[in-house]
Amino acid sequence: MRSFITRLAPRLATRIPRRYYSSDPRDPYGPFDKAPVVDPPAPETLVTLAIETSCDDTCVAVLEKCGSAARLLFEKKVTSDNKIYGGVHPATAVESHTAAVAPLVREAIRYLPNRQPGKRSFQYRKMTTGDIIAFKRLPDFVTSPSTTCKPTLSPLAWSTPSASPGPKPPQPKAPSYNPDFPFLTLLASGGHTQLVLSNSLTSHTILADSLNISVGDMLDKVGRTLLPPDILDAANDVMYAAQLERFAFPVPDPTPSNPSPKPDYSWYEVPPTRADEIKLFFPPEPYKWSLTPPLSQSRDMAFDFSGLGGQAQKILTQDPNRPLESIPIEERRELARGVMKLAFEHLASRVLFALQDMRGAVPHRSKQHPSNLQAAKKIGTTRARNIRTLVLSGGVASNAFLRKVLRDMLDARGFDDVEIVAPPPQLCTDNAAMVAWTGMEMYERGWQTALDVLPVRKWPFDPAQSGGGIMEIGGWMEWMPQGVEL
């Protein structure tokens, strides 16, 4: 995921035809003189209109940032209906992006802050040099660039990479949290699984990557087979991994004494050592199957989830004398818990390997991934030894059980001084607020691109990769006379 950020020039803003803002009471977005009144921003604020078209979600946000504080003035998402396909269908997703992006942008414009107190946004809005528009530059699907670039602001080009290598934005009306560099990021989503060392806003090293499918993709596929038919039928989307979490750890009904109940994780016992971590997982009686942890005999800095997902599928479908619909709910729940336990401990194990390498505790050995090993050893001799923050990002970061497993394993292995930082669950999945925040980070550090830049199909952010490095994509220019140190 990479984003494309555009600064809107003041002279262009004054030329937007007034008829764009309908005064027709039948207009579903309301007449311009009914636009919401939003308090004017402080003089040093940045206001960003951001667009995110990722997979099956079309998102638009208006984010205001002043120093270390931020306000999310508008955030809305439209998800394409892919239920009949059992997963995301590219043509359906692109059609949804095309239909949804312009109406969402129009609605979001109504929430841009006034420059004069008490005045309506449309009538008195004047863009300043601090206002920017951010949208994706790297498409998920072949036709995605035309979805955002052409109908909106393709002639106005500022550029930035996305927030995926770093933290996502804060909750509305709350101070933001920017961890000090360097820090680790565990990106766990439906499209990527990576462990990244971030030394600065534009300097990132991938320490571990997925050998095959991502953790989110594996959980989606397991959930699609494992979840009972009534849960699948009641679902409003194809986010089967999220449904799987709720099924594995159901939240009790609220009571007067406990109006906000939480899932019960007392079932989970943290493995105190690596030897305990790589033991086979056995469910309680009377179930006879078992699960093997991923890469249990390897310390390679890599992630492998296809094997674990295949084991789960085999348990559910291998016995011709036991139809899928006959598997009891409790056995399904035990399997869901077992899959998540091993998957999340596998994620945590590579975080632990990296921390151990950096602090010189236990050097890991890898023949298949020497470049990762060399990178880890190199950073181990620098300030990376002092890493005290792990940023958790991506859609799977919303999983509360994952957060518990990471915290428990770090504590059990002597890394209780490492803080885990994660966005609120609603901002872990696809959203435009993260695009807005990252755009402002790059803008504030003095970077822009030429107006002739185009969307790109590939944007590796690790300089060690072919054509990699955020600043190596081309088209970057400094807009400040004396650039800002990155």
CATH of the domain at 365: 3.30.420.40
Measured distance CA(390)–CA(62) in Å, rounded: 27
SS3 state at 135: strand
- Do residues 207 and 255 both lie within one domain? yes
Tell me if 295 sits within 8 A of 368, measured CB to CB: no
Q: Are 189 and 396 in contact (CB under 8 A)?
A: yes
Say which DSSP state 151 is in: I
Q: What angle do CA 478, 167, 246 make, to 5 degrees?
A: 150
Same domain, 128 and 246: no
Q: Residue 77 is inside which H or E element, if any?
A: strand 69-79
Whether residue 151 sits in one domain with residue 31: yes
| Within a domain: 439 | yes
Half-sphere exposure of 136 (CA within 13 A, CB side): 29
Residue at which a domain ends, from 384, 406, 422: 422
- The reply to whether 95 and 238 lie within a common domain is no
| Angle, vertex CA 441, rays to CA 457 and CA 94, nearest 5 | 35
Residues 165 and 189 in one domain: no
192 exposure class (CB count in 10 Å sphere: 0-12, 13-18, 19+): buried
Give yes or no: residues 52 and 165 share one domain: yes
Together in a domain, 384 and 243? yes
Are 357 and 456 found together in one domain?
A: no
Tell how strand 302-303 and strand 203-210 pair up.
parallel
Helix (H) or strand (E) holding 97: helix 90-109
Work out whether strand 476-478 and strand 447-449 pair parallel, antiparallel, or are unpaired: antiparallel
Choose one of 399, 422, 445: the last residue of a domain: 422
- Please tell me the total count of domains within the chain: 2
pLDDT at residue 128, as a whole number: 38
Instruction: Note whether 61 and 102 are same-domain residues.
Output: yes
Domain that holds residue 7: 2-170+429-478
Residue 176 domain-assigned (yes or no):
no
Distance CA 189, CA 196 (A): 14
The pLDDT value given to residue 14:
26
What's the rounded Cα separation, in Å, for the pair 168 and 249? 26
* Tokens found for residue 239: 């986010």
Residue linked to tokens 């990471």? 406
Three-class DSSP category at 55: coil
Does the residue 243 lie in any domain? yes
Last residue of a domain, one of 405, 422, 439: 422
Distance CA 140, CA 142 (A): 7
**Is the peptide bond prior to 284 cis by the omega test (within 30 degrees of 0)?**
no
Residue 47 lies in a domain: yes
Whether residue 11 is found in the same domain as residue 137: yes
Let me know if residue 178 belongs to a domain: no
Q: What's the residue count for the chain?
A: 486
Residue 241 C-alpha from the chain's centroid: 14
* 484 is a domain residue: no
Q: Which residue has the tokens 């199957």?
A: 289
Domain shared by 290 and 382, yes or no? yes
Note whether 210 and 288 are same-domain residues: yes
In a 3-state reduction of DSSP, which class is residue 144?
helix
- Measuring CA to CA, which residue among 148, 193, 127 is closest to residue 350? 193
d(CA 60, CA 48): 10
Residue 249 carries which side chain, given as an amino acid letter?
A: F
pLDDT at site 7:
34
Instruction: Report d(CA 137, CA 131) in Å as an integer.
Output: 19
Amino acid at residue number 183: F
In whole angstroms, what is the distance from residue 29 CA to residue 46 CA?
A: 25
In a domain, 460, yes or no: yes
Question: What pLDDT is recorded for position 236?
Answer: 81
Mean pLDDT, 10 residues at a time, the chain of 486 residues: 34 27 37 50 74 84 84 88 72 77 88 63 40 69 44 35 30 53 94 93 92 97 96 86 96 92 95 97 96 96 97 95 94 98 98 91 49 50 73 95 98 96 88 86 78 75 80 76 46
Residue 395 lies in a domain: yes
